[in-house]
Amino acid sequence: MAGSGRLALGTLPWPGWVRGSGPAVLSRLRDAAVVRPGFLSAAEEETLSRELEPELRRRRYEYDHWDAAIHGFRETEKSRWSEASRAILQRVQAAAFSPGQTLLSSVHVLDLEPRGYIKPHVDSIKFCGATIAGLSLLSPSVMRLVHTQEPGEWLELLLEPGSLYILRGSARYDFSHEILRDEESFFGERRVPRGRRISVICRSLPEGMESGEPGQPPPAC
C-alpha cells in the first residue's frame, strides 16, 4: 500500500531528521549517527560564518578530476579561532567526544558551492579516529550513509543550518557518507534545495596517535 513504509516508520519515536532503510539499522545506529538540529543559536552561526568568510573568500572553488571525493569546494584547516568561536567548538567537543579522546589540532572547514557535493567515502583511518562531528552553516543538505558491505542498509541525515551531526563507531567505519548534490538532494520525498554550505568538522585522532607523532595529518582526512 502506498506510503505504508513511511507510516510504519512514522509510528516509531524517531526524530524527523534521520531516516533509514529499516527500523533495525535505525536502532543499531541510534547513538552512532546523531543529528542535533538547532545546536547553534543564530548568533553562533553568525559568529562562525563571519569569521570564516574572509578566509574562505581568498580561495578558489576546486573542481577536481572525476575520481575526487569532493566537487565544487574550497577548504581550510583552521587552528586559530576567536574566543567566541572557541567557546562554540568547546561545546561541540563536549557534545560529541568522550573525555579520553584527543582531537586533531586543526578544524576542517569545507565550503561547498551550490552545485558542490561529496561522493561516498569513508574517512581515512590513518588520519581520523572513531568520531567525526560537523556543524552545518548556510544551506540545508542531506547526508547519506550506506553500509559498505550491505548497500541495502542506509541512513539519511537532514542537516539544517545550525545543526550538529556526529558519526562515531560503526557509522564512521562501516558506512560511507556523502553529501548529495542538488539534483539528488531529497530527504525521503522532501526536496532539500542546496545552496552554498559551509561545514566545520572536528575529528578525533586515531588511537595511538595521541602524543609524539611526527607530522600533521593532511588536510583532507
- Distance, in Å, from the CA atom of 18 to the CA atom of 187, rounded to the nearest integer, reads 9
Buried/exposed 127-139: b ≥16 CB within 10 Å, e otherwise: bbbbbbbbbbbbb
- When CB distances are held under 5 to 8 angstroms depending on the partner's kind, the choice from Mn ion, ligand OGA, none that residue 110 binds is ligand OGA
- When CB distances are held under 5 to 8 angstroms depending on the partner's kind, the choice from Mn ion, ligand OGA, none that residue 163 binds is none
Match 542535533 to its residue by C-alpha cell: 36
203: Cβ–Cβ under 8 A, 6 or more apart, which residues? 103, 104, 108, 123, 127, 128, 129, 131, 132, 133, 221
Match 543499531 to its residue by C-alpha cell: 28
Cβ atoms of residues 94 and 134 within 8 Å: no
Minimal distance, residue 168 CB to ligand OGA, in Å = 14
Minimal distance, residue 197 CB to ligand OGA, in Å = 7
Residue type for 106, please? S
Residue type for 94, please? A
Residues binding Mn ion (CB under 5 A): 123
Closer residue to ligand OGA in complex, CB, 21/176: 176
Q: Is 197 strand, coil or helix?
A: strand
Rg of the Cα atoms in the chain: 17
Residues binding ligand OGA (CB under 6 A): 110, 118, 123, 134, 177, 179, 199, 201, 221
- When CB distances are held under 5 to 8 angstroms depending on the partner's kind, the choice from Mn ion, ligand OGA, none that residue 134 binds is ligand OGA
Closer residue to Mn ion in complex, CB, 44/123: 123
Closer residue to ligand OGA in complex, CB, 85/136: 136
Minimal distance, residue 2 CB to Mn ion, in Å = 35
Closer residue to ligand OGA in complex, CB, 10/218: 218
Minimal distance, residue 144 CB to ligand OGA, in Å = 11
Tell me the residue number closest to ligand OGA, measured at CB. 199
* Count, residues in the chain: 221
Minimal distance, residue 12 CB to Mn ion, in Å = 28
